[in-house]
Structure 1
Amino acid sequence: MSANSEKDIPVNIYRPANPFTAKCISNDVLVRPGAVGDTRHVKIDISGGDLRYLEGQSIGVVPPGEDKNGKPNKLRLYSIASTRLGDDLDGKTLSLSVKRLEYQNEAGETIKGVCSNFLTDLKPGEEVKLTGPVGKEMLLPDDPNATIIMIATGTGIAPFRAFLWRMFKEQHPDYQFKGLAWLFFGVPTDTTVLYKPDLEWMAYKHKRHFRYDVAISREQKNANGEKMYIQNRMAEYADELWELLQKPTTHTYMCGLRGMEDGISEFMTKTAAKSDVVWKDFEKQLKKDGRWHVETY
């Protein structure tokens, strides 16, 4: 039985032709002083409509204005960073983790991401048009005793923030997490560990049910004295992770930049080979069983 066979999963309550007009409540800087880049926690008021969502879903954001062809801007999808109850626990808000995209192209011009800059510049009270929600790939299983392995880079932490807040910060009569949640989080510097105080507090308070390992590529070295990437951190627990993957109640989730997939795949291939298993085949079976969830961009 799939994790979500009997769930009421909201999908496309609002469509691009008729989006929901929400309002920004707050826009807080997530990175700490000295960090490269600008990443925000944007909280949005979704009261006054029918919008609802589940942890692991994404929302469409329609930035105002037109593209270079004079057509209205297309929507961009963002993983939702809050639980279904929202950060205020009243079901009336939705939060996003957004990094401002800004880079120099080959001609030396500054290119700005249309939607990320719109969101990171949002001020309280300003409107934002939303569509969705979408996505069934990243939903949590109903089993409160499951093992949940989460692999995130950067703002890919968003759906896992929702998972962990539901597991450890909220009280639910119908859902008390008693399994193991294990987060591997890859970032360039310590100042870019998003939601760091919360993650550390949960790891301290819920030692039996939450493990948290961070890979800081520019500040830590792996066993070979090279940069510490997320797959290097996972390799330190290779045997334990492999054992967990054999359990039918273990779900693995990966979210972040698409580039992370190669490193993880290489690590998994080596780890599986130690047990004479072909990783690609094993991964296929995990996907078929609904236990390997990937959302990269």
Structure 2
Amino acid sequence: MTPRGVVRKGICSNYLQQTLPKLSPDGKLIQSTFPRKPSQVRLFISPNPHFRLPGQDSLSINMTREMLSGGDAYLPLNSSLLMFAVGSGIAPFRAFWEELEFLERSQGNVQVERVLFMGCRSSSDFLYAKELQSLTSQRGRGNKLLTAVIPVYSRENVVVKRYIQDVMLDYEDMIYSILNDDNAFVYMCGSTRSCQGIESTLASILQSCGEDDLTFIQATNRIKEYKEFGRIKQDMFG
């Protein structure tokens, strides 16, 4: 329900809620007294094989120890990361930190900058909050798997809505340093509109913090180059 009292139902979740299942949660056939037959749901899978940690594009999902013996397999641990998740866009990043934990256990800790901006409506919508909190605590020899997790709540303040692209300007020096000095890889996952706003703000930060006096068009072209060379990867929907 919106602040004005309008009820808005999700497209996919609302559709699934109206379907009639064939099996119960424990896998047993449901004996229904309704004349309706179980619903047939049409779906398709849209994979994004390039939305993976640096150096992992060519690896299988089922990585064996032999596959991890090469130097490139450990590139994720050595690469600085800037991650931007909006709402359910946090989902692929969970696979990222689980993979990093796996690589850490086999290769050891590496201290690099890994920052995640998480955008949602309110603190109650912050998915995996406790799990992320544990990843930013001191571990082992003192390093953190994630340097920082920065939540952005767009509806906490009913007067002023703030989105990730607005809060990014509060951290522009940090973002520029990680992007430019540490040659970070950038990942965005969320709605098309949100990712476009984040991308535009990255260009603004390159323009305002850089020492080469870029125009906004030049900064935008540099962002396009980063995308072409695989330093910026996006998984957008909606």
Coarse TM-score class (shorter-chain normalised) = 0.5 to 0.7
Gaps of 5+ in 2: 1-6, 30-40, 56-74
- Per the TM alignment, residue 213 of structure 1 is displaced from its structure 2 partner at its CA by 0.3
* 8 Å Cα contact 1:215-1:233 kept in structure 2: yes
Aligned CA distance change for structure 1 residues 122 and 188 (closer, same or farther; 3 Å): farther
Which of 193, 196, 219 in structure 1 is aligned with 2:156? 219
Partner in structure 2 of residue 187 of structure 1: 120
- Per the TM alignment, residue 179 of structure 1 is displaced from its structure 2 partner at its CA by 2.3
Partner in structure 1 of residue 222 of structure 2: 282
**Greater Cα shift, 268-277 or 286-295:** 268-277
- Per the TM alignment, residue 266 of structure 1 is displaced from its structure 2 partner at its CA by 3.3
CA distance, structure 2, for counterparts of residue 229 and residue 196 of structure 1: 18
Which of 14, 27, 32 in structure 2 is aligned with 1:125? 27
Write the mapping of 1:121-270 to structure 2, written as runs, cut at 5 A: 123-125=25-27, 134-142=47-55, 143=75, 144-168=77-101, 172-174=105-107, 177-206=110-139, 208-210=144-146, 211-220=148-157, 226-247=160-181, 249-270=183-204
CA distance, structure 1, for counterparts of residue 100 and residue 232 of structure 2: 20
- Per the TM alignment, residue 186 of structure 1 is displaced from its structure 2 partner at its CA by 0.2
Deviations 1:41-78 (A, max 9, x none): xxxxxxxxxxxxxxxxxxxxxxxxxxxxxxxxxxxxxx
CA distance, structure 2, for counterparts of residue 202 and residue 219 of structure 1: 24
CA distance, structure 2, for counterparts of residue 205 and residue 189 of structure 1: 26
* 8 Å Cα contact 1:255-1:296 kept in structure 2: yes
Rg comparison, structure with higher value? 2
Partner in structure 2 of residue 271 of structure 1: 205
Percent identity of paired positions between Structure 1 and Structure 2: 24
- Per the TM alignment, residue 164 of structure 1 is displaced from its structure 2 partner at its CA by 1.1
Write the mapping of 1:35-54 to structure 2, written as runs, cut at 5 A: none
* 8 Å Cα contact 1:188-1:218 kept in structure 2: yes
* 8 Å Cα contact 1:186-1:217 kept in structure 2: yes
* 8 Å Cα contact 1:167-1:176 kept in structure 2: no
* 8 Å Cα contact 2:200-2:220 kept in structure 1: no
CA distance, structure 1, for counterparts of residue 94 and residue 230 of structure 2: 21
* 8 Å Cα contact 2:135-2:145 kept in structure 1: no
Partner in structure 2 of residue 112 of structure 1: 14
* 8 Å Cα contact 1:152-1:255 kept in structure 2: yes
- Per the TM alignment, residue 208 of structure 1 is displaced from its structure 2 partner at its CA by 4.1
Aligned CA distance change for structure 1 residues 170 and 218 (closer, same or farther; 3 Å): same
More helix by share: 2
Aligned CA distance change for structure 1 residues 124 and 184 (closer, same or farther; 3 Å): farther
SS at 1:167's partner residue? helix
Aligned CA distance change for structure 1 residues 135 and 263 (closer, same or farther; 3 Å): closer
Gaps of 5+ in 1: 1-36, 38-99, 104-110
Aligned CA distance change for structure 1 residues 156 and 289 (closer, same or farther; 3 Å): same
- Per the TM alignment, residue 115 of structure 1 is displaced from its structure 2 partner at its CA by 9.6
Pair 1:294-2:234 in alignment: yes
Aligned CA distance change for structure 1 residues 124 and 242 (closer, same or farther; 3 Å): farther
- Per the TM alignment, residue 153 of structure 1 is displaced from its structure 2 partner at its CA by 0.6
CA distance, structure 2, for counterparts of residue 295 and residue 184 of structure 1: 15
- Per the TM alignment, residue 113 of structure 1 is displaced from its structure 2 partner at its CA by 3.7
With normalisation by structure 1, the TM-score equals 0.54
With normalisation by structure 2, the TM-score equals 0.65
Over the aligned positions, Cα root-mean-square deviation in angstroms equals 3.7
More strand by share: 1
Aligned CA distance change for structure 1 residues 126 and 165 (closer, same or farther; 3 Å): farther
CA distance, structure 1, for counterparts of residue 171 and residue 145 of structure 2: 17
